[in-house]
Amino acid sequence: MWMDVGGRLLAPRIDPIGADSQTFAQKLAEIAVSSCDPRSGVVMSEANKAVVRKALDIYNGGVFDLMDDLIRPDYAHHNNDLTLSRDQFKRGAAWIRKGMPDFRIEIEDMVAEGDKVAIRFVSRGTHLGSMYGETPTSRSIAIHGETIYRLQGGMIVEDWEAMDEHDLMKQIGAVPPDA
């Protein structure tokens, strides 16, 4: 339900902690449908931010199939010249986790408007497995980036990610430091 407080339109608050993915996704879809401003049709940003937070919590937990409740089957992940499907994205996530088993994405900033949520993040992990044929270094790795998510009906439809993967390769020794 929309509430006009000081000129701001607010969505109901929900607590994603402890909610199973399917129940959480259903609740967010209900909020998204019921939280449309009849004057503009804009879906509430807070509900979309909660979906992105939950998806990143699942990603950080490493059980990527649980993301299916929050990411549509026709999802597209755009990264530089590549566009990955949902299954390709999950395989890529597993590949990163193989090289850095403690890999986590930490949100530094999050903003949302309409059907989009943008985050600035730092990803951290310990390089314990080969990713590009290099010898594992046991180094702590930090990769900075940004992602813009587009949501529809309480689910992530697509995203655009910008991250310095060449810096990752330098940090893990896959390319020379001065390359």
- Which domains does the chain show, CATH number per domain? 14-171 (3.10.450.50)
DSSP string for residues in 68-136: GGTEEEEEEEEETTEEE-HHHHHHHHHHHHHH-TT-EEEEEEEEEETTEEEEEEEEEEE--S-SSSPPP
44 or 94, higher pLDDT = 94
- Assess whether pLDDT exceeds 90 at residue 119: yes
- Assess whether pLDDT exceeds 90 at residue 18: no
